[in-house]
Amino acid sequence: MTAEPLLSKALLRLKRRNYLVCAASLLAGAVMHCLLTRSFSMELILSQLVWSACLGLMGGGVGAGWLPPRLTGVLAGLVGLAAATVFVHLTGGAQSPYLPVFAALPFILAMFTPDSRLPTLVGGVATLGAVAFVDMLAGVSPLTMTLRVMGLGMLLLLALFGTRTYRRLGEAQRLAHQERLDMLEQLAESERRRRHAERERAEVDRLVLVGQLAAGVAHEVNNPLAYVKANLNYLEHEVRGEDLPRVREELLGVIAETQQGVLRIQQIVMDLRGFSRAGGYGEERGGVLEEALQEATRLASVRLRERGEVSLALDPGLPAVRLGQRHIVQVVLNLLLNAVDAVEMADSRCLAHIAVRAWRVEEGVRLEVDDNGPGIPPEVLPRLFEPFFTTKPPGKGTGLGLALCREFVSRSGGTLHAENRPGGGARFVLLLPLVEESRPVVV
């Protein structure tokens, strides 16, 4: 810390104004005196001109930041004092009508450096000396002189008190400002933590979903792999045989089937890799529902296998929605897997029928996911979207899925709610606002 605190430009400008106002009043005082008394004193005008020029230069220097405000304040006080002494002396000394000007001097000094006690103290004490000096020259009695110095001393104390109040006020303001900054910093910090925790929760949920799919993946990949392998053996055998033209058509069919199997495996691996990768694709643009729903259905199919089916019914040409592509996949996949779980938990022999429908409405796109499970019990319904609320056995549910789904959807300006279908089973309804040009997509 330096003794001279760094002052803002606005404060320096304010200080400069003080100097200029004092310089102007010195000159104005001399001119007014000459005009009113109709006696032109060259001595008086010149001396006041010199003092006000000094003050003007000091003010310019302080305002530009070239001169240290505190030291210059002390000098300015002394210049003001000298100017007032000469003025009083040239206009009649102890009989001068301007004698009370001395009374105001401590305040003028305080005006130059309100943020420091020193200039007022030095200038004020010098004022007392000057008054005593003028009185001595004029042969004023010691008692009158003492009383006058005492009166001025009290004024000096008042001026010192004024600068102290100013300093305390400034300090209180600085503290309040600092407290505000600290609070803002704390707020920003807690917001950073909240976002971090949110990202971590989303990550956990995605990994849980990937884990849930993992068992199905092996089966899904194994199926096409088995017939790809069998087909390749068959092809090898046939190619080694002599009568290739005869079996040509059959071979082409086998090759097409093999290609399909390989494509299926490739698709499963691609979807799973895309989904399990943190911060994946499509975050910067709006989500295309058709693509996202097909991907979610493909991913869910590795878990569904022969336990049920998903039917998709989307209106053609649905516009892009504000919810990002990756989040649509995650939300719908959550709903599909929950539906399979619900059906399975109610009756393990029952096949799940899940219907996903989407169509254009006034607010954007309405998406409904219906299942043929047992529906949602009335006591569960109000708690469905609470984080960590689950009715599944330990190790199977985290209770994070629906809470996160709702968070993603509402951050994009949409809504997600659940209800029981009149005919039985649960229904999850999403209202997804469309991408607007002016608003960036939230993912």
List residues binding ligand ADP (CB under 6 A). 334, 338-339, 342, 371, 373, 376, 380, 384, 389-392, 397-399, 401-403, 426
Residues in the chain: 443
At 196, list the tokens: 């971090």
Where do we find the tokens 């590795």? Answer: 302
Number of alpha carbons in the 13 Å side-chain half-sphere of residue 330: 36
* Shortest Å, Cβ 358 to ligand ADP: 18
Alpha-carbon distance values, 439 to 201, 328, 361, 362, 442 (Å): 26, 18, 20, 18, 9
The residue of the chain with the least Cβ separation from ligand ADP equals 401
- Measured from the CB atom, the residue of 156 and 337 that comes closer to ligand ADP is 337
Q: Of 34 and 350, which CB lies nearer to ligand ADP in the complex structure?
A: 350
User: What is the chain's alpha carbon radius of gyration, rounded to the nearest angstrom?
Assistant: 44
How far is the C-alpha of 151 from the C-alpha of 45, rounded, in Å? Answer: 30
Q: Which is nearer to ligand ADP, 52 or 334 (CB)?
A: 334
CB of 291 to ligand ADP, least distance (A): 23
One-letter-per-residue 3-state SS of 330-374: HHHHHHHHHHHHHHHHHCCCCCEEEEEEEEEECCEEEEEEECCCC
**What is the amino acid identity at position 37?**
T
We find the least distance from the C-beta atom of residue 377 to ligand ADP, in angstroms, to be: 8
CA terminus-to-terminus distance, the chain: 47
Decide whether 101 or 302 has the Cβ nearer to ligand ADP.
Answer: 302
Min dist CB 8 to ligand ADP, Å, is 54
Query: Which tokens sit at 259?
Result: 């290609």
Identity of the residue, 58 or 416, whose beta carbon is nearer to ligand ADP in the bound complex: 416
Identify the CA nearest to 148 among candidates 128, 133, 122. Answer: 128
Shortest spacing between CB 341 and ligand ADP, in angstroms: 7
Q: Which residue's CB is nearer to ligand ADP, number 55 or number 376?
A: 376
CB of 182 to ligand ADP, least distance (A): 38
Alpha-carbon gap, residue 63 to 429, rounded angstroms: 67
CB of 410 to ligand ADP, least distance (A): 15
Positive or negative, the CA dihedral 407, 409, 415, 416 is: negative
CB of 131 or CB of 339, closer to ligand ADP: 339
> Which candidate, 340, 395, 410, places its Cα nearest to that of 373?
340
Q: In 3D, which of 413, 405, 436, 409 has the Cα closest to residue 320? A: 436
Q: How far is the CB of 344 from ligand ADP (least distance, A)?
A: 11
Contact 394, 409 (CB under 8 A): no
Amino acid at residue number 185: E
Minimum distance from residue 389 beta carbon to ligand ADP (Å): 6
Residue among 208 and 312 whose Cβ is closer to ligand ADP: 208
Between 264 and 307, CB nearer to ligand ADP: 307
Structural contact between residues 333 and 211, judged by C-beta atoms closer than 8 angstroms:
no
Residue 129's Cβ-side half-sphere holds a number of Cα atoms within 13 Å equal to 9
